[in-house]
A and B are shown apart, each in its own frame.
Chain A
Amino acid sequence: MSVVEANKTAQVGVPDSWEPKVIAFCCHWCTYTGADLAGLNRMNYPANVRVLRIPCSGRMNPQYVIEALNKGCDGVLVCGCHPGDCHYVTGNYYARRRMMIFKRLLEYEGLEPERFQVRWISGAEAGKFRDTVMSVVEQVRALGPLNLTREIPQFELPAVPDGQEAFNAVPEEVMPEEVSA
């Protein structure tokens, strides 16, 4: 049974008290600032979103999305600076490519597109932040809870202790060498 089929069957008997859980990964320089501005302007938006601050959308590891969906989030939002405005020059371009490919993978696996969304929101776009949160929450609410009958296989990073302990490795000499990437 695919993820989505499993999910459909689970829709029956959703309790009335159910509220969607959405996690938003926001870059420090643009979207997190925009979210703060929404607060300064006393805007209102649903409390179903929890913001997790990362330095740059380029820091966004697809693994976090899997973890969130596995552990009970109903939707994930990734936000960064507008393309061309990245504080770190190119981070959001990398994010855009990675997240688009990853999104296709998730959709191939059966996840509804609405559950994983990527948006570019600047530090000035408090209104856009509010509107995005509202629309994502509503879309996820309409889909109902994400009930995975089987967990997506874990790709947890191996808990390898730092190099020196593992192999008792001591750098003896260092020779700089250009490597074409």
Chain B
Amino acid sequence: MSRIGVFICYCGSNIAGTVDVEAVAEMARTLPDVVHVETNKYTCSDPGQEGVRNAIISHEIDRVVVAACSPRMHEPTWRKLLADTPVNPYMLEVANIREQCSWVHKDREVATAKAMDLVKMAVAKVARLQPLHSTEIPVHKKALVIGGGIAGMQTALDIADAGFKVTIVERETSLGGKMVMLDKTFPTMDCSACICTPKMSEVGNHPNITVKSYSEVENVSGYIGNFEVTIREKAKYIDYNLCTGCGACETKCPQKVVNDFEQGMSERTAIYKMFPQAVPAKPVIDAAHCRKLAQGKCGVCAKVCPTGAINYEDEDKLTTETYGAVVFATGYKLIDWKPLYPEYGGGAYPDVITGLQFERLVNASGPTEGHILRPSDNSEPKDVVIIKCVGSRDPNKGKAYCSRACCMYSAKHAHQYLDKVPDGRCYVFYMDVRTPGKGYDEFYMNTLHDGAQYIRGRVSKIYQEGGKLICKGEDTLTSQQVTVEADMVVLETAMVPADGIDELAAKFTVGRDADSWLVEAHAKLRPVETNTAGIYLAGTCQGPKDIPDSVCQAGAAASKVIGLLNKDVLQSNPQISHVNEAICQGDGACVGICPYGAIQIVQKTFRENSRKVTRPVAQVNPGLCQGCGACTVTCRAGAMDLLGYTNESIMREVDALCQW
């Protein structure tokens, strides 16, 4: 036998003006299991709440209906109130007789009748509710940041400065990501390395930050507050405790390898640091190219190492740790334009380069020491064509989206070229110029005044004749074909997610869009959270963006992580899915439908009719389930139900309503 208390609010005249509250109360007294009905001028006021509390005690009420304003307004208030009473906070139903009754109807009789129905529904539902209890989830006060580019570093620094431990996993041998490859940053033309490398050393030296370079995430399990992550630290073949980073090995290594950091435009040795200011400032051996490791001959580096740090027997190391929060800062790469654009030579012309290659060409520490020299013959190009939107805004060959940073990036390239080659000519083929950012359009206008010739149109073909790269385009503003005989062509290629993002995101059940960008929980209101609680996004892994935006988002992600790590425990939402294991078929229909990866199928052994039976059943992870209920409808056996909104309670609500 349940004992229901019904509390009906006048809300001043807000409700009482259109609804005959006393008549509703009179009707409520006739409902089954209702032991107490009370009206109040303002139930949410302190005396109103006190009245509810007293009534619960004196009438031994075990479930409560409040007929008042919208539950979106005060449901949390009533839950909090009940927490101090013997009534379970989830043995509560709110009848919305204000927003959805008194305020939208004028006829007193009609409104009163509807209010009665709403109370009947609430009483019917509350009678079927069960007490629910939040569980406490402990929070491991440690964050994992995946990716050591500018976004990852900024996130890590912000979290670490707030006093929490952070681990950065970086796939490459050094922190820095793409930003450290850039020469200058728009629109201020700061030297990119000058503002990025201090961050790198700050991260490297921060007492709260552990940098795991040359490492990747191997495996993940768990949920918010408790992600158990296994990290594979690839064999470096160098003992970092002994290595002093003197660089003697690098100068003596006989094996030359194409240098990826310099975008293939120079060579490095097989034992190498990515670049001089790398953090950690110690080399690794590239096992695929090392003569000692690949062919068993050589060993020069071990001979010259003054501290004996070289260890050819080194192996990958796996470590597992628990983190309370995870931040994805996995970044982007440039689209591989070569197979997509055979009309631009498909890579056959060495002087058709990407924007990132151009960055290395103008960089003082790049392969040409900052002199703009074209790759084919090291001559200074006098006519340079810059083509925007290569792979972007091109659903036929590349991606439909705009890569967002390239308009400014190409204006910067034009500016830098004209700065270094004052007698050169620079043509920028564009479709639109998009410069929404502080100081951005001014920068673009300056580039125009520098003398960059902007041509509105896409280039259709690039071909080589007499040592020149002939670019055929249309100047759509004068409606005619135009031809430029260029010495070098720079393609501003689209940003795409970094390699391996699909596999990594799948391990964490983070959603991806059709282009594999990671999906935020809400485009406007939850831009740095994901749909998996405890996992956040920073930087270009979420979509193309420039450095200021990446840094902003990194700070935002860090603040979310700090907010989470500040808590010792989390209260779980008890209104989640629940499996009736007796009838669960274990067919896993619910598994695929759950957007949070909260359900898995496990083998369980039951004692049924005095026999042991092992069979698969669904299991809901309370840390991951958000209580949407999509699984409940998909279950063929009807074994899934949603606590707080059970099939039974909703059916009785419907029944109650139909009696009107």
Chain B residues, CB < 8 A from A171: 581, 604-606
**Residue A172 at the B interface, CB < 8 A?**
yes
With A and B bound together, what is the CA distance between A71 and B654 in angstroms?
Answer: 8
**Residue A32 at the B interface, CB < 8 A?**
yes
Among B111, B588, B606, the residue within 8 A (CB) of A167 is B606
Flag if A167 contacts B609 (CB, 8 Å): yes
Flag if A54 contacts B604 (CB, 8 Å): no
Q: Which of B350-358, B462-470, B589-597 lies at the interface with chain A? A: B589-597
Q: Which of B172-180, B244-252, B419-427, B625-633 lies at the interface with chain A? A: B625-633
**Residue B100 at the A interface, CB < 8 A?**
yes
Flag if A94 contacts B72 (CB, 8 Å): no
Main secondary structure of the interface of B (DSSP, over half): mixed
Give B603's nearest chain A residue, CB to CB. Answer: A175
> Chain B, 276-311, contact with A by CB distance < 8 Å: what is the 0/1 string?
000000000000000000000000000000000000
With A and B bound together, what is the CA distance between A51 and B98 in angstroms?
Answer: 13
Distance in angstroms from B627 CB to nearest chain A CB is 6
**Residue A157 at the B interface, CB < 8 A?**
yes
Enumerate A39-79 residues with CB–CB distance to B below 8 Å.
Answer: 39-40, 42-45, 47, 50-56, 58-64, 67-68, 71-73
Flag if B655 contacts A71 (CB, 8 Å): yes
Chain A residues, CB < 8 A from B601: 177-179
Using A53-B71, A180-B588 as known contacts, say yes or no to A39 and B582 having CB atoms under 8 A apart.
no
Flag if B603 contacts A39 (CB, 8 Å): no
Flag if B531 contacts A89 (CB, 8 Å): yes
Enumerate A14-36 residues with CB–CB distance to B below 8 Å.
Answer: 21, 23, 28, 32-33, 35-36
**Residue A12 at the B interface, CB < 8 A?**
no
**Residue B317 at the A interface, CB < 8 A?**
no
Chain B residues, CB < 8 A from A38: 99, 104
Flag if B607 contacts A167 (CB, 8 Å): yes
**Number of A interface residues, CB 8 Å?**
66
Flag if A47 contacts B630 (CB, 8 Å): no
Q: Which of B100, B590, B612 has the most CB of A within 10 A?
A: B100
**Residue B37 at the A interface, CB < 8 A?**
no
Distance in angstroms from B20 CB to nearest chain A CB is 14
Chain B residues, CB < 8 A from A98: 633
With A and B bound together, what is the CA distance between A127 and B101 in angstroms?
Answer: 16
Chain A residues, CB < 8 A from B121: 50, 52
Using A23-B657, A98-B633, A180-B588 as known contacts, say yes or no to A90 and B604 having CB atoms under 8 A apart.
no
With A and B bound together, what is the CA distance between A21 and B642 in angstroms?
Answer: 27
With A and B bound together, what is the CA distance between A144 and B192 in angstroms?
Answer: 73
Flag if A177 contacts B104 (CB, 8 Å): no
Among B105, B531, B582, the residue within 8 A (CB) of A166 is B582
Flag if B72 contacts A33 (CB, 8 Å): yes
With A and B bound together, what is the CA distance between A44 and B629 in angstroms?
Answer: 32
Using A73-B657, A163-B581 as known contacts, say yes or no to A90 and B630 having CB atoms under 8 A apart.
yes
Chain B residues, CB < 8 A from A32: 70, 72
Enumerate B626-660 residues with CB–CB distance to A below 8 Å.
Answer: 626-630, 632-634, 638, 642, 645, 647-648, 650-651, 653-655, 657-660
**Residue A176 at the B interface, CB < 8 A?**
yes
With A and B bound together, what is the CA distance between A28 and B645 in angstroms?
Answer: 12
Q: Which of B46-54, B112-120, B387-395, B444-452 lies at the interface with chain A? A: B112-120
Give A157's nearest chain B residue, CB to CB. Answer: B638
**Residue B80 at the A interface, CB < 8 A?**
no
Chain A residues, CB < 8 A from B580: 160, 162-163
Q: Which of B101, B531, B595, B600 has the most CB of A within 10 A?
A: B595
Flag if B582 contacts A174 (CB, 8 Å): no
Flag if A39 contacts B103 (CB, 8 Å): yes
* B contact residues, range: 35 or more
Distance in angstroms from A58 CB to nearest chain B CB is 4
With A and B bound together, what is the CA distance between A127 and B519 in angstroms?
Answer: 31
Distance in angstroms from A37 CB to nearest chain B CB is 8
Chain A residues, CB < 8 A from B110: 47
Chain A residues, CB < 8 A from B96: 36, 51, 53
**Residue B543 at the A interface, CB < 8 A?**
no
With A and B bound together, what is the CA distance between A43 and B106 in angstroms?
Answer: 10
Distance in angstroms from B449 CB to nearest chain A CB is 43
Among A52, A64, A94, A180, the residue within 8 A (CB) of B593 is A94
Flag if B645 contacts A54 (CB, 8 Å): yes
Flag if A91 contacts B628 (CB, 8 Å): yes
Chain B residues, CB < 8 A from A63: 647, 651
Give A32's nearest chain B residue, CB to CB. Answer: B72
**Residue B506 at the A interface, CB < 8 A?**
no
Give B94's nearest chain A residue, CB to CB. Answer: A53
Flag if B70 contacts A47 (CB, 8 Å): no
Chain A residues, CB < 8 A from B634: 94
Chain B residues, CB < 8 A from A23: 654, 657
Chain A residues, CB < 8 A from B589: 181
Flag if A94 contacts B630 (CB, 8 Å): yes
Chain A residues, CB < 8 A from B603: 174-175, 177
Chain B residues, CB < 8 A from A88: 531, 595, 626, 628, 630
With A and B bound together, what is the CA distance between A32 and B591 in angstroms?
Answer: 28
Among A45, A59, A156, A162, the residue within 8 A (CB) of B629 is A59
Flag if A39 contacts B650 (CB, 8 Å): no
Among A56, A89, A160, the residue within 8 A (CB) of B511 is A89
Using A51-B100, A64-B650, A89-B531 as known contacts, say yes or no to A59 and B586 having CB atoms under 8 A apart.
no
**Residue B313 at the A interface, CB < 8 A?**
no
With A and B bound together, what is the CA distance between A58 and B659 in angstroms?
Answer: 26
Distance in angstroms from A80 CB to nearest chain B CB is 11
> Chain A, 88-112, contact with B by CB distance < 8 Å: what is the 0/1 string?
1111001000100000000000000
Chain B residues, CB < 8 A from A176: 600, 602
**Residue A142 at the B interface, CB < 8 A?**
no
Chain A residues, CB < 8 A from B107: 47
Flag if A169 contacts B582 (CB, 8 Å): yes
Top 7 A-B pairs, shortest CB-CB distance: A181-B592, A39-B99, A59-B629, A163-B582, A169-B606, A88-B628, A71-B658
Report 23 cross-chain contacts, Cβ distance below 8 Å, ordered by A residue: A35-B100, A39-B70, A44-B106, A47-B101, A47-B113, A50-B118, A55-B575, A59-B628, A59-B630, A61-B633, A61-B647, A61-B650, A64-B650, A71-B654, A89-B519, A89-B531, A91-B628, A167-B608, A174-B602, A175-B603, A176-B600, A179-B586, A179-B601
Q: A39-B70, A64-B654, A163-B584 are in contact. List 6 more A-B contacts (CB 8 A).
A: A47-B107, A50-B117, A91-B628, A163-B581, A179-B586, A181-B590
